Copies of this chain bind each other. A is one copy, B any other.
Amino acid sequence: MVRGMARALVLGGGMVGSAMAADLAADPAFEVTVADVRPDSLERLAASIDVQTIPADLSEPKTVSRLAADHDVVLGALASRLGLNTLRAVIEAGKPYADISFMAEDPLQLSELARERGVTAVVDCGVAPGMSNMTAGHAASRLDPCERIEIYVGGLPIVRRWPFQYKAPFAPADVLEEYTRPARVVEHGTVVVKEALSEVELLDFPGVGTLEAFNTDGLRSLVHTLDVPHMLEKTMRYPGHAEIMRVLRHVGFFSTEPVDVGGRPVVPLEVTSALLFPKWAFDDREEDVTVMRVTAVGKERGRRTRLVWDLLDRYDPGTNTRSMSRTTGFPCTIMARLLVQKRFDRPGVHPPEVVGREPGLLEHFLDELRRRGVHYDMRVEHPPEA
């Protein structure tokens, strides 16, 4: 479709949007525009990379549609609450869309609309959701049967400080949302709902040490798109974090139900956010690490097989880009290129497992990520028959 330069629009100039914009701006095939409501974020971006910037209130769908209409491909890196309306606005503008906005709603509800408009949109296209879905989708189509998929993922600061040993590499409100929303897992082919932060277990990761892993609602679309009888996703933190979060949740500090304080209703979560989020902010140039392990067990050509993808990625001091921004943003820019090149152009709203099932596409993502310093180590094991 596009000859010469493709015009890419990045919605959101935050940490991840900036990493996306920088990746595309370094590519002579792209001309990049970043839209954001915060002029200071845009100024900072324009000072360091070759992009155009547009100050715009992206909570207004008409604004999104109008901006999208001027571009060949759109990338979404917005707050989760803007995700669904923005997806709809881009579809209505008739433009291909790669998104990491991690909306709470089910984006596939707009798939029919996308098919009508002949638009291809790939959502949840970061690291997890994102590469986790892509590897899971690949494994589910490669193993026959695929019996079990387990995803363990965490984004962490390198320096551990009492009491949380944690900084939020994406919107901290979305982190607390992860700690409260019931977690869906699949057991014996049935969707089972578990409490978030439950079933804490300890795992060792070379180079990182012992981490704790607990249930969070991370499977998302995989619950419905893959026919695998056992699936779970767990979030990883340094040991001790989950217990503190469980206590705060127990007391009611994450509650959105107002309590009476001197005759006035106050939402506890808002007070907690005001107190907690500054403590969860990364310092300038503070290093982070992203750890992920996706394991799939089943049979390949009749032989019991375990496929394992391990990711261990760190802050890039050269570009001052956090690992979470790299590992989340690059899958989205790689996807955006595939959309522009029409290497994936099936109309509809698709989760990444659909992309991962296409022959050669997972390998393409892993190659492109490796070129950007994000290394997935993949291994094939043959455990004894169960």
Contact = CB atoms under 8 A, between A and B. Distances in A.
A259 B274 contact: yes
A376 interface: no
A244 B253 CA distance: 14
A26 interface: no
A163 interface: yes
Given A246-B163, A261-B266, A266-B261, A251 B279 contact: yes
A61 interface: no
Contacts of A264: 264
Contact of A276 (B251, B262, B266, B267): B251
B246 A275 contact: no
Nearest to A251: B275
A253 B274 contact: no
Nearest to A279: B251
Interface in A274-318: 274-276, 279
Interface string A134-178: 000000000000000000000000000011000000000000000
Nearest to A273: B261
A270 interface: yes
A271 B274 contact: no
Classify chain A's interface size.
20 to 34
B275 A270 contact: no
A247 interface: yes
Contacts of A246: 163
A351 to B, nearest CB: 35
A253 to B, nearest CB: 7
Interface in A236-269: 243-244, 246-247, 250-253, 255, 259-262, 264, 266-268
A162 B251 CA distance: 11
Contact of A271 (B250, B261, B279): B261
| 10 shortest interchain CB distances as A-B pairs | A252-B275, A259-B274, A163-B247, A261-B270, A271-B271, A251-B275, A266-B266, A244-B247, A266-B271, A261-B271
Given A244-B244, A259-B274, A268-B271, 17 more contacts: A162-B250, A163-B246, A247-B247, A251-B272, A251-B276, A251-B279, A252-B275, A253-B253, A255-B275, A261-B266, A261-B267, A262-B270, A266-B266, A266-B270, A266-B274, A268-B275, A271-B271
26 contacts: A162-B250, A163-B243, A163-B247, A163-B250, A247-B247, A251-B272, A251-B276, A251-B279, A252-B275, A253-B275, A255-B275, A259-B271, A259-B274, A259-B275, A260-B274, A261-B266, A261-B267, A261-B270, A261-B271, A261-B274, A264-B264, A266-B266, A266-B270, A266-B274, A268-B271, A268-B275
